[in-house]
C-alpha cells in the first residue's frame, strides 16, 4: 500500500445562520436541520445545517453537518484543497485531539490500504463571523454520492450500526443500544441484512471461510481489520460504522467510521510529554480483547445498567478461522514494513502537521502545547505499537493451540477436550450459551478432564443453532468459543478430537 496524496492547501469555509436557526441547532441533542448558508469553493450556498456527533455536542467547539436542500444536488470545494462533490458534508471539531492528526492519519491509512472508507481533508471554519479554527471534513457514507464515489453500484443498500451497537449479533439491542438504521433504498425490505446477520452467527465453523468469501469483500475486510489493529481502533461498538450490500456483486463491505476513537489519539487531557497507549490486544473487539471489559464497566456506570463486554461477531469469526487470521496478520506485517514503518509513517505525520501549522496559530480552541508535541506523540505511537505488534504476532499465529476446548455440541450435551499433557480441573471456569453472558454457568470444581481426554456436560443447544463458550471466571476471557448451525439431531464436533477442523458426527 501507499499513502494517498495530500491536499495542497487548507480551504477556509464559513457557515452563517439567523437567530431562529440558532434556537434549533444549539439545543444540545437536536438533530433537526435548520436553514443557513455555507461558503464553499468561493461561492455562498443556501443549506440546511445542524450540529453533529454524540459526545462532541458537549464540547465548546462544535462539530457541524450541512446539506444541500435538494437531494440530487452537490457542492464542490476549491481546487487543490482535497474536496469532493457531495450533498452532505461533515465538519469534525476534533476538540479532544491535541493535534488534529489522528483522523487524517487513520483514514489515510485505510484509504491507502484500498479500504472503501470516507475521504477526509483539513479545512478551517468560521461560524457566524467567529473563527473556530481547524476542522477535519470527513465524507458522508450514507448516501448514493458516496456509493458512486467509492466504486459501489449506485443502487446498493447501506445500513448503519445502531447506537452503541456495532456487534452484528442476533439478540435484540441492550437497553442502552439502538437499532440498525437503513440509509439508502429505505422503502425496500430489510431481508438482506437479517439474512446476512443470521448466516454470520449460525454458519458452522468448517463452512465459515467459504461462506465469507461468497458474501463479503474479504480482501478489503482483511486490510480494514489490519489497519484497525495498527491504529488500536478502540471504540468500534460506538462507531456507527456501515455495512454496504453492493447491488452489482451481491457482496457486503464494512465501511469504518469514527476512527478518532483509537489509542493513537493525543487526548486533550494529556500533558505535552504524555506517552501514547500502544499495547491494546491485537484481536481488537473480539472476545479475546480484555479492553472490552473496561468498556462494559464504563457503560454500566454511565447508563446505570449492567452492560455486557461488546465484541463484533464478524471480527470474532474472522479471528477464529486460522487461514483468515493468518491473512490479517500477513497484512499487518506488510504494513509494518511499509506504510506504518518509521521511514514512511514519520514523514506522513510531519506532512499532516505542516498542512495546518499556520492555521493552528489562529485556532482559538486547540491547546498549543499539545499541538506542538503532536508530531512527536503520533510518531512515538507508531514506533511503540510496531514494536508491540512484532512481539505479539507470533503468539497470535499460534492461537488455538493447546488448552481446554469445546470439542462437540450435541443434543443435550457439550463435550470438552483437554489438549494438554496434564489433567484439568473445571473449577474457576464457566460455560455459556450466550457469549454476552460470559459467567452464565459456573462449572463444577472437582470435575477433571483427563490429559488428552474429554468430559461430557449437560447443555441445551439452541433449536436454531447458537454459540457456546468456556471462560475463565476470574479474567472473564475465553478459553474457547464455537458457533454452530441447527443440529437437527446430529452432533457438531472437532474431527478428530481436539483438532482445529470441524464436521458432523
Spell out where 168-301 has E strands: 181-182, 242-245, 252-255
Angle CA(163)–CA(100)–CA(358) in degrees, nearest 5? Answer: 150
CA distances from 53 to 31, 50, 241, 322, 328 (A): 10, 10, 13, 37, 31
**What is the pLDDT confidence band of residue 40, given thresholds at 50, 70 and 90?**
very high
Q: Convert the pLDDT of each residue in 401-420 to its tens digit.
A: 999 999 999 999 999 999 99
Whole-angstrom distance, CA of residue 217 vs CA of residue 318: 13
CA distances from 37 to 17, 184, 485 (A): 6, 26, 54
For the chain, the domains span 153-341+375-397, 404-504
Whole-angstrom distance, CA of residue 127 vs CA of residue 395: 51
Rg of the chain (C-alpha set): 24
* pLDDT of residue 75 exceeding 90: no
Residues 6+ apart with CB under 8 A from 62: 51, 56, 93, 127, 132
Residues recorded for the chain: 505
Residue 192 confidence (pLDDT): 98
Alpha helices by DSSP H, listed for 38-165, are 102-112, 144-149
**Helices first, then strands: H and E counts in the chain:** 11, 22
* 60 exposure class (CB count in 10 Å sphere: 0-12, 13-18, 19+): exposed
Angle CA(382)–CA(384)–CA(388) in degrees, nearest 5? Answer: 115
Residue 206 confidence (pLDDT): 97
Spell out where 225-342 has E strands: 242-245, 252-255
| Cβ-based neighbour number of residue 269 at 10 Å | 9
Q: Which of 302, 299, 291 is nearest to 232 (CA)?
A: 291
Is there a contact between 139 and 210 (Cβ–Cβ < 8 Å)?
A: no
* pLDDT of residue 193 exceeding 90: yes
Residue 241 confidence (pLDDT): 97
Pairing of strands 64-67, 88-92: antiparallel
Residues 6+ apart with CB under 8 A from 487: 409, 410, 411, 461, 465
* pLDDT of residue 71 exceeding 80: no
Cell of residue 33, nine digits? 436541520
Q: Convert the pLDDT of each residue in 162-179 to its tens digit.
A: 999 999 999 999 999 999
| Cβ-based neighbour number of residue 351 at 10 Å | 13
**What is the pLDDT confidence band of residue 73, given thresholds at 50, 70 and 90?**
confident
Q: Convert the pLDDT of each residue in 277-289 to its tens digit.
A: 999 999 999 999 9
Is there a contact between 240 and 165 (Cβ–Cβ < 8 Å)?
A: no
CA distances from 135 to 93, 217, 260 (A): 5, 32, 13
**What is the pLDDT confidence band of residue 54, given thresholds at 50, 70 and 90?**
confident
- Average pLDDT of 317-335? 98
Whole-angstrom distance, CA of residue 450 vs CA of residue 11: 69
**What is the pLDDT confidence band of residue 397, given thresholds at 50, 70 and 90?**
very high
- Average pLDDT of 448-477? 98
Whole-angstrom distance, CA of residue 465 vs CA of residue 178: 25
Residue 70 confidence (pLDDT): 82
Could you tell me the end-to-end alpha-carbon distance of the chain, in angstroms, rounded to an integer? 44
DSSP 357-378: HHHHHT-SSS-HHHHHHHHHHH
Give pTM, 2 decimals: 0.96
Q: Which of 420, 356, 480, 482 is nearest to 94 (CA)?
A: 356
Cell of residue 441, nine digits? 454457568
Residue 242 confidence (pLDDT): 98
* Dihedral over Cα of 141, 142, 145, 151: its sign: positive
Is there a contact between 57 and 65 (Cβ–Cβ < 8 Å)?
A: no
Whole-angstrom distance, CA of residue 161 vs CA of residue 259: 15
Furthest-apart CA pair in the chain: how many Å?
Answer: 77
Cell of residue 374, nine digits? 503532536
**What is the pLDDT confidence band of residue 29, given thresholds at 50, 70 and 90?**
confident
What class, spelled out in words, does domain 404-504 have in CATH? mainly beta
Specify the DSSP element, H or E, that contains 201: helix 191-202
Whether the bond between 248 and the residue before it is cis, its omega within 30 degrees of 0, is: no
Q: Which residue(s) pair with 470 in the sheet?
A: 431, 480
Residue 243 confidence (pLDDT): 98
Is there a contact between 419 and 454 (Cβ–Cβ < 8 Å)?
A: no
Specify the DSSP element, H or E, that contains 306: none
- Average pLDDT of 126-135? 99
**What is the pLDDT confidence band of residue 375, given thresholds at 50, 70 and 90?**
very high
CA distances from 411 to 77, 281, 441 (A): 62, 36, 18
- Average pLDDT of 106-128? 98
Amino acid at each position: 500500500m501507499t499513502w494517498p496524496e495530500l491536499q495542497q492547501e487548507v480551504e477556509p469555509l464559513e457557515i452563517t445562520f439567523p437567530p431562529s436557526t440558532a434556537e434549533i441547532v444549539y439545543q444540545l441533542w437536536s438533530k433537526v436541520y435548520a436553514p443557513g448558508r455555507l461558503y464553499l469553493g468561493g461561492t455562498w450556498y443556501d443549506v440546511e445545517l445542524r450540529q453533529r456527533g454524540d459526545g462532541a455536542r458537549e464540547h465548546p467547539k462544535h462539530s457541524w453537518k450541512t446539506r444541500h436542500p435538494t437531494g440530487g444536488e452537490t457542492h464542490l470545494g476549491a481546487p487543490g484543497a482535497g474536496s469532493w462533490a457531495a450533498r452532505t458534508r461533515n465538519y469534525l471539531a476534533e476538540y479532544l485531539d491535541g493535534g488534529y492528526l489522528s483522523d487524517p492519519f487513520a483514514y489515510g491509512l485505510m484509504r491507502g490500504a484500498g479500504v472503501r472508507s470516507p475521504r477526509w481533508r483539513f479545512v478551517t471554519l468560521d461560524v457566524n463571523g467567529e473563527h473556530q479554527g481547524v476542522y477535519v471534513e470527513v465524507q458522508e457514507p450514507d448516501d448514493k454520492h458516496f456509493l458512486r464515489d467509492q466504486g459501489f453500484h449506485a443502487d446498493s443498500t447501506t445500513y448503519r450500526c445502531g447506537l452503541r451497537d456495532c456487534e452484528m449479533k442476533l439478540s435484540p439491542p441492550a437497553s442502552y443500544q439502538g437499532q440498525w438504521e437503513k440509509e439508502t433504498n429505505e422503502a425496500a425490505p430489510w431481508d438482506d441484512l437479517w439474512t446476512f446477520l443470521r448466516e454470520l452467527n449460525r454458519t458452522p465453523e468448517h463452512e465459515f471461510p467459504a461462506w465469507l468469501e461468497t458474501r463479503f469483500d474479504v480482501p478489503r475486510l482483511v486490510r480494514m481489520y489490519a489497519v484497525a489493529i495498527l491504529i488500536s481502533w478502540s471504540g468500534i461498538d460506538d462507531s456507527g460504522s456501515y455495512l454496504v450490500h453492493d447491488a452489482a456483486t451481491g457482496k457486503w463491505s464494512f465501511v469504518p467510521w469514527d476512527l478518532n476513537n483509537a489509542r493513537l489519539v493525543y487526548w486533550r487531557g494529556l500533558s505535552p510529554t504524555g506517552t501514547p497507549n500502544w499495547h491494546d490486544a491485537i484481536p481488537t473487539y473480539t472476545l479475546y480483547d480484555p479492553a472490552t471489559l473496561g468498556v462494559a464497566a464504563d457503560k454500566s456506570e454511565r447508563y446505570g445498567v449492567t452492560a455486557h463486554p461488546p465484541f463484533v461477531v464478524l471480527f470474532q469469526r474472522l479471528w477464529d478461522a486460522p487461514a483468515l487470521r493468518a491473512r490479517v496478520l500477513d497484512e499487518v506485517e506488510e504494513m509494518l514494513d511499509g506504510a506504518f514503518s518509521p521511514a514512511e509513517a514519520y514523514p506522513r505525520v510531519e506532512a499532516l502537521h505542516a498542512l495546518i501549522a499556520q492555521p493552528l496559530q489562529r485556532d482559538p480552541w486547540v491547546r498549543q502545547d499539545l499541538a506542538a508535541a503532536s508530531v512527536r506523540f503520533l510518531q512515538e505511537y507508531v514506533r511503540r505499537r510496531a514494536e508491540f505488534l512484532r512481539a505479539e504476532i507470533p503468539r497470535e499465529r499460534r492461537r488455538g493451540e493447546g488448552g481446554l476446548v469445546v470439542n462437540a455440541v450435541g443434543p443435550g450435551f457439550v463435550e470438552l477436550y483437554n489438549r494438554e499433557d496434564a489433567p484439568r480441573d473445571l473449577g474457576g471456569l464457566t460455560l455459556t450459551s450466550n457469549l454476552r453472558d460470559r459467567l452464565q454457568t459456573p462449572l463444577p470444581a472437582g470435575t477433571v478432564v483427563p490429559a488428552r481426554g474429554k468430559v461430557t456436560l449437560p447443555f441445551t443447544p439452541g433449536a436454531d443453532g447458537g454459540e457456546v463458550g468456556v471462560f475463565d471466571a476470574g479474567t472473564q476471557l475465553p478459553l474457547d468459543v464455537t458457533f454452530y448451525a441447527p443440529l437437527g439431531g446430529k452432533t457438531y464436533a472437532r474431527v478428530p478430537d481436539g483438532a482445529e477442523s470441524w464436521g458432523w458426527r
